[in-house]
Chain A
């Protein structure tokens, strides 16, 4: 059966039966990861039961602002996106690459064991699903193939939740990545709440998704259900205010390396790397080498790295990008421009996290618009 044949399969899961979905996923041996409340925000964490979900909570997001707020209803997925994507599971912030043992002067390189984690991700938004597609292009193909990522990715069960709202920082529509996920998931849920009626439209996207679905008490879909689900997505579209003009966007950078806006943004940017840490596609990494005190064993670890640091472009002659201006320019021009030449896709999926979590509220959509303005010279 092809993916498109699965996609025609739509069913309804009643809110009252939702815990059976969690049960079914866990029965299949997955570690279930989903949205959880932290003290001040929403993140991904392990879900054991449905009360672990941020039931009845929403988020208000604006540049440099994330605020939790009670909803008027008891929606399970009534928020937008938390500060991290599922990147931290597929491409962990710290990962051992190998260990080395020294025996009689000889070195034995021991590769990292194949990851055993079998993750199910619940509540993946369309933007974050597209971010996984972006990282797949980096880690699952060609010379930069990473078996550790590929193994986790291969095992992962992805359950999308379609967006019914947009935050003040969302711009997936401009990036062509949402708000509705069309394919590439195992299951997709649309949460519909209409007076007394609270249910999920379930789209089945794969054999794996189907295997979970068969364990659930699903009912057939009515026209009214579909209309309600459609209005849910429409609501997200209506709320989305931020926009990016992506036309000839590579040339926008390639023709504007010396645009005065770079100086302007460098005055505001504090070089903290937060935008890269919350970005679901940023993939740069560095290594840390260490040896144990007896000197017989050493390890090499990979960790996320950030193009905002001086060390990132270190050469014996000094840092190539010694100014904050050049480092901000590297990040933005890579994300929206040169990434396209490198991987055939934009590095941005419009999730808006870099805007929300920037401590000084730098808004990439505004920066991009400003770069399109002819500079006053």
Chain B
């Protein structure tokens, strides 16, 4: 190895840059959306499905998918469920606070695979944000695609993300939207009740010409794939966004290994065909 050209001081992949919280919204208890805006000229160019590493001063860093770019606010929207120390700190951040950002990282959803095909987006719970980010990209070139379906499963009517957007979205003629909740104790829920996978079964699409993007808890994604495979969808046409513990996001720290794959740099989006050999191996 030539050792005279190894050192590149500008390659600081582990150093965050400061972003400001422009806006904060509580989606439902313990889940917030944050609008993050670069200080100075820090525009992020991202593919839907990519993620950021968000650093909270003195607390730590967490991987979060970009839900959307809000052009009017010049911000990137992240939706966070408070489950650990860093996400809890983010839950309690205030408008105006500064956080550190690295990224975007990973491979996003392969929208190019979906050209001239139907697109099936299946989200479970907090798995919605990474899929949400595809919508503006799809609508921008809507004529490139066939039917577009968005299936979203939430625990209850109270646990539905982005409530203010659904009404306008449901009026979109070019989007088939279905929401299902597992538990509807409220009287004013008129939608479906049950698992999001049951929505897949009732859908009319062409299995030979559909690309499915799935994000949610791993068992939900697996059963979604089984349902799609049963309908005759090819393994290559089903994509998952996977989750594992991440520290670095650049394929260095070793935490997110899934068999030979680093979820951070080889994923987090993978075709079912790629990950099938490892999906059913417990504790891999």
Interface-side segment among B3-11, B71-79, B190-198? B3-11
> With the chains together, A298 CA to B3 CA distance in Å?
34
- Given contacts A254-B277, A298-B58, A334-B257, whether A143 and B18 have CB atoms under 8 Å apart is no
- Cβ of B255 within 8 Å of any chain A Cβ, yes or no, is yes
B238-266 CB mask vs A (1 if < 8 Å, else 0) is: 00000111011011111101011010010
> With the chains together, A284 CA to B97 CA distance in Å?
32
- Cβ of A151 within 8 Å of any chain B Cβ, yes or no, is yes
Establish whether residues B254 and A284, one from each chain, have CB atoms under 8 Å apart when the complex forms.
yes
Establish whether residues B1 and A136, one from each chain, have CB atoms under 8 Å apart when the complex forms.
yes
- Cβ of A342 within 8 Å of any chain B Cβ, yes or no, is yes
Establish whether residues A144 and B7, one from each chain, have CB atoms under 8 Å apart when the complex forms.
no
CB distance from A308 to the nearest CB of B (A): 12
A-side contacts of B250, CB under 8 Å:
143-145
Establish whether residues B57 and A107, one from each chain, have CB atoms under 8 Å apart when the complex forms.
yes
Establish whether residues A154 and B4, one from each chain, have CB atoms under 8 Å apart when the complex forms.
yes
Q: Which of B16, B55, B260, B265 has the most CB of A within 10 A?
A: B260
Establish whether residues A326 and B282, one from each chain, have CB atoms under 8 Å apart when the complex forms.
yes
Establish whether residues A107 and B6, one from each chain, have CB atoms under 8 Å apart when the complex forms.
no
> With the chains together, A257 CA to B260 CA distance in Å?
13
Establish whether residues A342 and B253, one from each chain, have CB atoms under 8 Å apart when the complex forms.
no
- Cβ of B61 within 8 Å of any chain A Cβ, yes or no, is yes
Establish whether residues A330 and B257, one from each chain, have CB atoms under 8 Å apart when the complex forms.
yes
> With the chains together, A283 CA to B254 CA distance in Å?
7
- Cβ of A287 within 8 Å of any chain B Cβ, yes or no, is yes
- Cβ of B12 within 8 Å of any chain A Cβ, yes or no, is yes
- Given contacts A153-B3, A316-B84, whether A326 and B255 have CB atoms under 8 Å apart is no
Establish whether residues A257 and B58, one from each chain, have CB atoms under 8 Å apart when the complex forms.
no
CB distance from A328 to the nearest CB of B (A): 11
Q: Which of B9, B11, B253 has the most CB of A within 10 A?
A: B253
- Cβ of A305 within 8 Å of any chain B Cβ, yes or no, is yes
> With the chains together, A151 CA to B6 CA distance in Å?
7
B208-249 CB mask vs A (1 if < 8 Å, else 0) is: 000000000100000000000000000000000001110110
B-side contacts of A21, CB under 8 Å:
none
A-side contacts of B13, CB under 8 Å:
143-145
> Does more than half of chain B's interface fall in helix, strand or loop, or is it mixed?
loop
- Given contacts A314-B245, A315-B244, A316-B84, whether A290 and B58 have CB atoms under 8 Å apart is yes
Interface residues of A in 66-102 (CB under 8 A from B): 97-98, 100, 102
Establish whether residues A154 and B3, one from each chain, have CB atoms under 8 Å apart when the complex forms.
yes
A-side contacts of B259, CB under 8 Å:
254, 338
A-side contacts of B61, CB under 8 Å:
287, 289, 300
Establish whether residues B6 and A111, one from each chain, have CB atoms under 8 Å apart when the complex forms.
no
- Cβ of B141 within 8 Å of any chain A Cβ, yes or no, is no
Q: Of B6, B17, B84, B253, which is within 8 A of A284 by CB?
A: B253
Interface residues of A in 123-158 (CB under 8 A from B): 133, 136, 138-140, 142-147, 150-151, 153-154, 156
Interface residues of A in 268-320 (CB under 8 A from B): 283-287, 289-291, 295, 298, 300, 302, 305, 307, 312-317, 320
> With the chains together, A302 CA to B58 CA distance in Å?
14
B-side contacts of A287, CB under 8 Å:
60-61, 247, 253
Establish whether residues B254 and A305, one from each chain, have CB atoms under 8 Å apart when the complex forms.
yes
A-B contact pairs, 20 of them (CB 8 A): A98-B16, A100-B100, A106-B98, A114-B7, A143-B250, A143-B265, A146-B14, A146-B252, A153-B6, A285-B252, A287-B60, A287-B61, A287-B247, A289-B60, A313-B245, A315-B244, A321-B283, A325-B283, A326-B283, A342-B262
Residues on B close to A: CB < 8 A?
1, 3-4, 6-9, 11-18, 39, 55, 57-61, 83-84, 96-100, 217, 243-245, 247-248, 250-255, 257, 259-260, 262, 265, 277, 281-284
